[in-house]
Amino acid sequence: MVLLWNVHNSLYSNNLKKKIYFASDFHLGVNAKYTSAERERQIVRWLDQIKEDAEEIYLVGDVFDFWFEYSYVVPKGYIRLFGKLAELRDFGIPIYFFIGNHDMWMFKYFEDEFGIPIYREPIVKTIKGKTFFIGHGDGLGPGDYGYKFIKKVFANPICQWLFARIHPNFGIGLANFWSGRSRESNGDESTFLGEDKEWLLIYANKKLDTLAADFFIFGHRHLPIDYTLKNQTSRYINLGEWMNFNSYAVFDGNDLTIEFFENEEGTVYKK
């Protein structure tokens, strides 16, 4: 009976139409609508839900509100997420991790422990016949020169070496403080600013002049957005965040949609 049940489950899984999943901005480590620990459990439930039909999973930055890997120390916590990621990789599901502005000090831990590659810059990838431009989104588009300068400083190996000399008890606490200040400085992110002010939309429209992408996939903006670009076919997709929306995108080979997990009131800004 057990053998027949396992065979049935195997056949059922093989017959499922495989999908591509994108999510970003979990910001684990900071409390929001729920505590960080509660949100982590919620994310694990979502990963459990999608694992049967997930062909690939893209984590598009700011999974952690702060992350720094010392030579022999990583920030404590997140055990449930790590366990689930390890399980999905053992299950044979490819997972790709894009660093964001809050977890830019991700080095080799995910690659060594989980076999999850780390991307520091946006990539162009063909998925099921469609061209995707994928990246967290920070530092792209016009303006924001102050942040772009700070990002270069933080990405400098010498600065990273100096920070690693600070004891984790102080260094991680200091970084968490500045991470909170950075988030507060973004102001109200719940309103669409218009085509002439949404910097990632401006960037995607300009990028179309040199790249015929079908989808531009970003996080960072914290607002679920599905916007048709100037050629009337390509789309700018912002994945939103998990502090309030629990939003993610799913591509079934034909269409891409933004959906919500355990949030029946979630809405997408769409045009």
pLDDT for 36: 94
Residue 146 CA to residue 160 CA, distance in Å, equals 19
Residue 115 CA to residue 109 CA, distance in Å, equals 9
Check residue 33 and give left, alpha or beta (phi > 0: left; psi -120 to 50: alpha). Answer: alpha
pLDDT for 190: 75
Buried b (16+ CB within 10 A) or exposed e, 211-250: eebbbbbbbbbbbbbbbebeeeebbbbbbbbbbebbbbbb
Mean pLDDT, consecutive 10-residue segments, the chain of 271 residues?
43 68 95 94 98 97 83 81 97 96 82 94 96 92 58 63 60 57 57 89 96 96 96 97 97 96 93 84
Give the chain's domains with CATH numbers. 17-270 (3.60.21.10)
pTM of the full structure: 0.84
Residue 105 tokens read as 């000090």
Cβ distance 268 to 226 under 8 Å? yes
The residue to which tokens 């509660």 are assigned: 38
Residue 257 tokens read as 């949609």
